[in-house]
Structure 1
Amino acid sequence: MSSISKLTTPSSRRQFLTLLGLSAVAVSCGTGGGGSAKDQAKTLRYQGWAGSVILPELAEDLGFLEDVKLKWVGNTISGPQDIQSAATGQVDFGGAFNGAVVKLAARKAPITAVISYYGVDKAAYNGFYVLKDSPIHSARDLIGKKVGMNTLGAHSEAMLDIYLQRHGLSQADIKKVEPLVVPPVNIEQSLRQKQIQVGVLGDILRDKALQTGGIRPLFTDHQLLGNFSAGTYVVNDRFLKENPDTARTFVTGVARAIEWARARPRDEVIDRQIEIVKKRGRNEDTGPLKYWKSFGVAETAGRIADKDLQLWIDWLAKRGDIEKGQVKASDLYTNEFNAYSRKDKSKDQSSAAKPTSKSGS
């Protein structure tokens, strides 16, 4: 498995600028496939998350998607389901934890990851919490204990496995630790009622539980791996081939939204998200958005690197979910459609101090 240093070391400046230059050339020269721009799809179907604003929605509201429009077809509660829908063509893009992307690609699904959209940093992280008076203080103390998390086979279970492995537990002992699916809104209550011994909490649920008191972290994913991009948007390969210009507009727009959110004051980003939720009129609670702190994307403009996927390739191979050497990280993603440039970066940051219109102009 990759070391922590490999995970947290950013790409060199020279390599990054070279990639930016190649993207700029690709934009100016056009694409090698697909029909003319006017014949390409201009509306992208997608699934959202109730009460949340995803980066493509933010990009559209800011005007960064230009002539490309989004069409909401419903909400999802699962990243694996979302990318499966993208693979089958029910939606035009979907996002999930990178381990789920690797698993789906290993099954020969016709998908390619095009941009990172969430990750872990000191502001955006998940913690594995126990009661303050719990006898659990180490990885070995978790043997025979129940760990509540939102879903299995995804981000939280991966973090738990890596924590146990790094603290020397054998596979036999790891199997004695019991991850359980608990709806996120019920995890704190289940922990306090001792139905589970460890609860995975993030964002508003973490902050509210900490404010109430009586719990402490055993570890966090940020402590475990530092800053890293954890999930990517994937697009069906056929769509990319037939609609390369649309794909470039979409990916670059999301990249600009990532950098816009980095450059703006936190309150402004929160207010923008609340405004978006209110405008879509789905009777959603905007309260949790006030706790937003970061999208956690590690690399500039959400550009993907081998390390973002290699960690999960190694993890899945150790679990026996895929065969060693079955997939290659560099085959699972492309930065070809991410044309975010230094000029874009300068423009987005220079306007950080002044308000934008609803169209983002």
Structure 2
Amino acid sequence: MRKISLVIVLLFTLVLSACGNNGGNASTTESLTVNIGLLKNVTHAPGFIALQKGYFQDAFGANVKIEVTAFDNGSDFSTAIATNQIDLGFVGPGPAINQFLKSENFRIISGSNNGGAVLIARKDAGIHSVKDLVGKTVAIPTKGSTNEISLRLLLQQEGLKVSTDTSGVQIISRAPADTLVAMRQKEVDATLIPEPWGMQMVEEGTGEVLVDWDKIPPNDGNYPLTLLVASDKFLKAHRDLAKKAIQANLDGIDFIKTHPTEAYELISAELKELSGKGMDVKLIKGAIEHLNLTDEVDLEVIKTMAKVSFDAGYIKDIKEDELDLSKFIDLSLLDEVKQNK
């Protein structure tokens, strides 16, 4: 009789253990840390709001610790997610495409913002049109960035070439904060830069808008500038948490649209946490007005941007007809979130 009781107890214990195993999904394990990355640009505003309002934390639960890493450019972000230093976060398509074609171990899981970069000319540089950029130096945040792709497309539209001498347009990479200083010191003539840096240059009288955000190619400003991506490792182990991250992003987008005044203050607060310095609400308001906050991702636009990166030599060891980005975009989780699955 005692043997039968012991068997019953063991079976009951095994059942409880199986239930607690959650079908192999480790999302509910204790003391899990999720590493989120993003850039210190207002174009990443939905992510800022999701952090400030606690959307990520509330969705993940109390057992999940969130660590945030701020990057100055998308190239560093893309390297970090490809090497599993971060799990998910917000980045532009340019550097993400370049890195994905090397590692193929992370995916776009949602859009966050379309557009929000402007071409600024230094006021005393004698630049009144894009054609005046010949012989001038134009700064972009980093080589292979989304902003460089847009700049190259813009120059192509005007029949201009990129060169290392005065016969064409010279492109150099500078972090946005360094570009601000370089414009003041007349070290660069123009910059294609994400907001709010463009607004800041205009406000302080350093530069003027040469091409506004809604005329920047591709697609007249309606191109992905900020995407939510996640590593394959994280998606495999924590698919449910990835869906919750998507919902936090959607909630951030919605909050900015429905509570803009409060959102400006929260964005400034997050900028202060990420960079040590907040920003004038007036600048943030102007920058937000230059964004098209959306979860949509246009594969054709992504392909156009990949072609520019290929032509510029940033995509190597792959033939043009082998540029397959179909696996780079996985919106199945976004669809499930929208269908409340």
Per the TM superposition, whether the score is higher than 0.5 is yes
Who is 1:235 aligned against? 230
Give 3-state SS (helix, strand or coil) of 1:337's partner: helix
The answer on 1:154 being equivalent to 2:145 is yes
Give the conservation status (yes or no) of the 8 Å contact 2:140–2:172.
Answer: yes
Q: Against the structure 1 CA distance between its residues 41 and 317, is the aligned structure 2 distance closer, same or farther, given a 3 Å change threshold?
A: farther
Q: Against the structure 1 CA distance between its residues 228 and 256, is the aligned structure 2 distance closer, same or farther, given a 3 Å change threshold?
A: same
- 1:55 Cα deviation from its structure 2 partner: 3.3
Cα separation, 1, equivalents of 2:27 and 2:275: 37
Who is 1:306 aligned against? 299
Deviation sequence 1:62-113 (CA, Å, 0-9, x none): 3433341452254321211112211111111133220111111111331111
Cα separation, 2, equivalents of 1:191 and 1:283: 20
Residue type at the aligned position of 1:341 = K
Structure 2 residue runs of 5 or longer lacking an equivalent are 1-22
Give the conservation status (yes or no) of the 8 Å contact 1:184–1:201.
Answer: yes
Q: Against the structure 1 CA distance between its residues 56 and 192, is the aligned structure 2 distance closer, same or farther, given a 3 Å change threshold?
A: closer
TM-score w.r.t. the length of structure 2 is 0.75
- 1:245 Cα deviation from its structure 2 partner: 0.9
Residue type at the aligned position of 1:194 = K
Give 3-state SS (helix, strand or coil) of 2:55's partner: coil
Q: How do 1:20-35 residues align onto structure 2 when only pairs under 5 Å count?
A: 35=25
Q: Against the structure 1 CA distance between its residues 146 and 229, is the aligned structure 2 distance closer, same or farther, given a 3 Å change threshold?
A: same
Cα separation, 2, equivalents of 1:306 and 1:100: 16
Q: Against the structure 1 CA distance between its residues 207 and 51, is the aligned structure 2 distance closer, same or farther, given a 3 Å change threshold?
A: closer
Who is 1:44 aligned against? 34
Who is 2:70 aligned against? 75
The answer on 1:177 being equivalent to 2:169 is yes
Give the conservation status (yes or no) of the 8 Å contact 1:146–1:180.
Answer: yes
- Matched pairs, number: 304
Deviation sequence 1:21-67 (CA, Å, 0-9, x none): xxxxxxxxxxxx85265349853112455697753452244343334
Who is 2:265 aligned against? 271
Q: Percent identity?
A: 18
Alignment equivalent of 1:321, drawn from 309, 314, 327: 314
Give the conservation status (yes or no) of the 8 Å contact 2:27–2:237.
Answer: no
Give the conservation status (yes or no) of the 8 Å contact 2:40–2:275.
Answer: no
Residue type at the aligned position of 2:243 = R
Who is 1:93 aligned against? 88
Give 3-state SS (helix, strand or coil) of 1:304's partner: coil
Alignment equivalent of 1:250, drawn from 245, 249, 253: 245
Cα separation, 1, equivalents of 2:156 and 2:49: 38
Cα separation, 2, equivalents of 1:162 and 1:195: 24
Give the conservation status (yes or no) of the 8 Å contact 1:112–1:333.
Answer: yes
RMSD: 3.4
TM-score w.r.t. the length of structure 1 is 0.71
Deviation sequence 1:277-318 (CA, Å, 0-9, x none): 67x6x8922234552232866464x13231341221121232
- 1:125 Cα deviation from its structure 2 partner: 3.1
Cα separation, 2, equivalents of 1:269 and 1:327: 39
- 1:160 Cα deviation from its structure 2 partner: 1.6
Residue type at the aligned position of 1:55 = P
Q: How do 1:348-359 residues align onto structure 2 when only pairs under 5 Å count?
A: none
The answer on 1:117 being equivalent to 2:112 is yes
Deviation sequence 1:303-345 (CA, Å, 0-9, x none): 32313412211212322433313333332111122244389xx
Cα separation, 2, equivalents of 1:111 and 1:41: 24
Alignment equivalent of 2:332, drawn from 332, 336, 359: 336
- 1:118 Cα deviation from its structure 2 partner: 3.3
Who is 1:291 aligned against? 283
